[in-house]
Amino acid sequence: MPVSTGEKDAGYVSPMDTRAQLQKALNRIEAYLPGLLDSHPDPAEFWPAFAGEADSILDGAPAHEQEWVADRLESMLNFHGAPAP
């Protein structure tokens, strides 16, 4: 395991930073979700709009975090009463 000098090497992202960045992005989409649902009550309009936001987070997540991101997205959709696809 590399020893940290307090400075991050170029290209190095620690798992905590990654999780924190993902959580921040997920918090943004969750804050945006009620308005998205209100502005797109038709599932045919809602899902493409949501997917545009969610896919960018999921695609940017490291492989070992993708299941966690998908679970968080599903939880927020259920919590906010998103329509079935």
Per-position pLDDT tens, the chain of length 85: 444 444 444 444 444 458 899 999 999 999 999 999 999 999 999 999 999 989 999 988 999 999 999 999 999 999 999 998 8
Looking at residue 63, the DSSP 8-state letter turns out to be G
- pTM higher than 0.85, yes or no? no
Contacts by 58-64 with C-beta closer than 8 Å and gap 24+?
60/25, 61/18, 61/22, 62/18, 64/15
Sequence spans of domains, the chain:
15-79
